[in-house]
Each structure stands twice: as C-alpha cells, then as structure tokens.
Amino acid sequence: MVSSLTREPDSPRIQVWLERETADGGLISWLVETEFSAALSVKLRRGDIDRAGRTAARQGFVDLIAVALASVPVERHHYQLAANFADRHSLGLRAADALHLAIAYDNGATLCTLDRRLSEAGPEVGVDTILV
C-alpha cells in the first residue's frame, strides 16, 4: 500500500496493479492501517516524505479503503492462529506477517505482498499468495 501512495521505484507498477486488482473490491485488515501509518512515519523521519506528503498518502489510503476495499477486523482468534504459524520457525515469520496470514486464512483471502518470504510462507500454512 505504501508503494502505491508514495514515490518509490516500484510505485508506477504497483499503482497499475492495485487499480486492476481492486476494480471489483477486495479485503484489507485493520492491521494494514496501523502498518501503513507506521511506514509513513518512518518515511517522514528519514526525510523521504514531508508532512504534506504524509498527509496526502494517509488520505489516499483512507479514500482507497472507502471506495474499493472492505475492512476486516483483527480478532483474538487471529492472534492465536498467528502464534501457531509463527511456531513454524522454518518459515521465518515476523509477528505481523504471521498475523496477516492468519487473517487471510480465516477469511479465505489471497494475500498480496511485496515480501518474498511472506509470499513463500503463505502456501505452507494454507494461504494463497501473490507476490506483487
């Protein structure tokens, strides 16, 4: 999401992909909103964006959710499932990645990511993934 709403090397490609993939809707978990804001804060601290750029990207995210994506809550059982996924040490999952997979698993959703490790771990726990 960050790549689609800020200036990064892959932004044009991600924007085209996101527009195509969300034409018929899609799902996004509440976790993504937190991670999106945190990533924007990192970009602001590093000087990659200014406050106006952060505000514009955040608003673009809110607008995208309102128009094209259904929000999925993060619930207690997602954390439990994520812990089970994280227990599989060979997958190398970070906590948030395990939680993304658990939410996708619970909703029968395909997880789309720029993270190769996450895209490879998904099928190992029963989640279809797309490496964008």
User: Distance between CA atoms of 33 and 65, rounded to whole angstroms?
Assistant: 10
Q: What is the pLDDT of residues 99-128, one digit of tens each?
A: 999 999 999 999 999 999 999 999 999 999
Q: What is the pLDDT of residues 61-82, one digit of tens each?
A: 999 999 889 999 999 999 999 9
Tokens representing 95? 């906590």
